[in-house]
Amino acid sequence: MRVFFGCATAWWMKMDGSNPTVSVIIVHWNTAGLLRDCLRKLVVALRGLDAEVVVVDNASACAELPQNLCEALQLRLIRNPVNTGFSFAANQGADCAAGDYLLFLNPDAGLAPGAVKALLRCVQHEAYGAVAATPHDSYGNPSMPAFNFLTPFNHALELLGLTFFARRSAVAQPGPPLCHRVDWARASTLLVPARLFAEVGGFNEGYFFYEEDEDLAWRLRRRGYFVGVCACAVTVDNGGAATSLRPLWAARRLYRAQFEFVRNRAGAAAARLYLLCTRTALSLKRFRARFSEPALVYGVAELNAALAELKACGHGSVAAGDGADFASQEDGCR
Count H helices and E strands in the chain, helices first: 12, 11
Predicted pLDDT of residue 300: 63
- What averages of pLDDT result for each successive group of 10 residues across the chain (334 residues)? 44 58 92 88 93 92 72 85 93 95 94 94 86 88 87 87 69 63 93 96 93 96 93 79 62 89 94 91 79 54 76 65 41 35
Cα 226 to Cα 103, 145, 180, 218, distances in angstroms? 17, 15, 10, 9
Q: What pLDDT score was predicted for residue 193?
A: 97
pLDDT of residue 333: 34
Domains of the chain: 8-237 (3.90.550.10), 243-327 (no CATH)
0.95 surpassed by pTM: no
CB 131 within 8 A of CB 123: yes
DSSP 75-133: EEEEEESS---HHHHHHHHHHH---SEEEEE-TTEEEPTTHHHHHHHHHHHS--SEEEE
- The pLDDT score that the predictor gives to residue 311 is 80
Phi/psi class of residue 242: alpha, beta or left (left: φ > 0; alpha: ψ in -120 to 50)?
alpha
Do the beta carbons of residue 147 and residue 183 sit within 8 Å? yes
Residues 281 and 252: their CA atoms lie apart, in Å, by: 15
Per-residue confidence (pLDDT) for residue 205, from 0 to 100: 94
Q: Which residues contact 250 (CB under 8 A, 6 or more apart)?
A: 209, 243
Contacts of residue 325, defined as CB under 8 A and 6 or more positions apart, other chains included, come to 249
- pLDDT at residue 307, rounded to an integer: 78
Cα(64)–Cα(44) distance, rounded to whole angstroms?
Answer: 21
Distance CA 219, CA 200 (A): 7
Cα–Cα distance, 184 to 229 (Å, whole number): 9
